[in-house]
Amino acid sequence: MTKLVFTGGPSAGKTSFIQALKVKLLDNESVFFAPEIATMLLGQGFPRFNLDENIIYQQRAILKTQIEMETLLEKEKKYSLCFFDRGLPDALAYVKDPSAICEEYLKLHENYDHVFHLEVAPYLGYTKSNNKSRTEDHTQALELECRLKDLWSKHKNYHFISSKETFSKKFEDFILNYGELCGLNSTKVSNTKN
């Protein structure tokens, strides 16, 4: 199974990229789109606290849930391509000491074939309104982006996707550069504008 992950700070477009790719790969049953575990847990009532010592438990739960989901997908062998809305190292960006969550945190990024790091939207394009679990302001989002870059940038297939004037332009550029890698070719790409 080829595993592609979208990472980046809040409001970088990860979930929107996943949704746009779903439209383009709608009929492909060999593709799986994994949900963002943090949004899934926190959006369904998992306790959220802001004290540094309590964030460790929250992020550890996110990491463990992601590990179990990825293990299940690998064992099931149903899909040839899987897109992840955040990956294992993302949980570590929210804590001061990643080893408090996972001692072997430097190896977590090896679980993926390609990493697409989407740049956080510029200040005027930044929003919290499309995700109830998002609490970070723009400055905090940029700080998280730097920590994520530190965690992911050593991956052998790390790709940084810069922000553009619009989401559509960012996605179109992504498809031009990485569409084939994502299971899209000229005969499969939908003409739908995203």
Per-residue pLDDT tens for 164-177? 888 899 999 999 99
19-43: per-residue pLDDT in tens?
A: 999 999 988 899 999 999 998 998 8
Q: How confident is the model at residue 68 (pLDDT cuts 50, 70, 90)?
A: very high
Q: How confident is the model at residue 126 (pLDDT cuts 50, 70, 90)?
A: low
The C-alpha atoms of residue 154 and residue 134 are separated, in whole angstroms, by: 27
**Domain presence at residue 188:** no
pLDDT attached to residue 124: 63
Q: How confident is the model at residue 48 (pLDDT cuts 50, 70, 90)?
A: confident
pLDDT of 77 > 80? The answer is yes
**123 or 3, which is more confident?**
3
**Domain presence at residue 187:** no
**Domain presence at residue 183:** no
**Domain presence at residue 190:** no
**Domain presence at residue 72:** yes
Residue 71 in tokens: 């293990």
**Domain presence at residue 83:** yes
pLDDT of 131 > 60? The answer is no
Q: Quote the number of domains for the chain.
A: 1
Give the residue numbers spanning the domain of 150: 2-178
Which CATH number goes with the domain that contains 99?
3.40.50.300
Q: How confident is the model at residue 100 (pLDDT cuts 50, 70, 90)?
A: confident
**Domain presence at residue 191:** no
* Mean pLDDT on 146-166: 93
**102 or 34, which is more confident?**
34
Q: What is the DSSP string of 140-193?
A: HHHHHHHHHHHHHTTSTTEEEE---SSHHHHHHHHHHHHTTTTT--TTT-----
**Domain presence at residue 40:** yes
pLDDT attached to residue 132: 60
